[in-house]
Structure 1
Amino acid sequence: MPLAFPSRSHGTIVFGFYNIETDSLLLEDLSFFCTDFCGTLAEIPPTSGGRADLRGYRFASRRAIGDLVGAIRGERFEGYLGEVYRRWPFPKDQAAFRQRLEGHRTRPEVERVLARWARRVTIPITWTPARDLATIGPYEFSTTQFRALLEYVVRGGYPTWEGFLERGACPPWVATLAKAWGVAT
Structure 2
Amino acid sequence: MSPVNKKSPIKIWEYYEICSENNKLAQCLLCSIKFSRGGEGKKATTTSLKNHLKTKHADQYAALINVPTTSGSNMGGTSISTDAKMPAEPGTSRSKERQLTLKETSERKLLWDINDPKSIKYHYLIGEMIALDNEPLSPVERVGFQRLMANTLPHYKVPGRTYDRENCS
Question: Who wins on radius of gyration, i.e. which is larger?
Answer: 2
Report the TM-score range of the alignment, normalised by the length of the smaller protein: under 0.3
Q: Which has the higher contact order (CA 8 A, sep 6+)?
A: 1
TM-score of the superposed pair, with normalisation by structure 2 = 0.24
TM-score of the superposed pair, with normalisation by structure 1 = 0.22
Greater share of residues in strand: 1
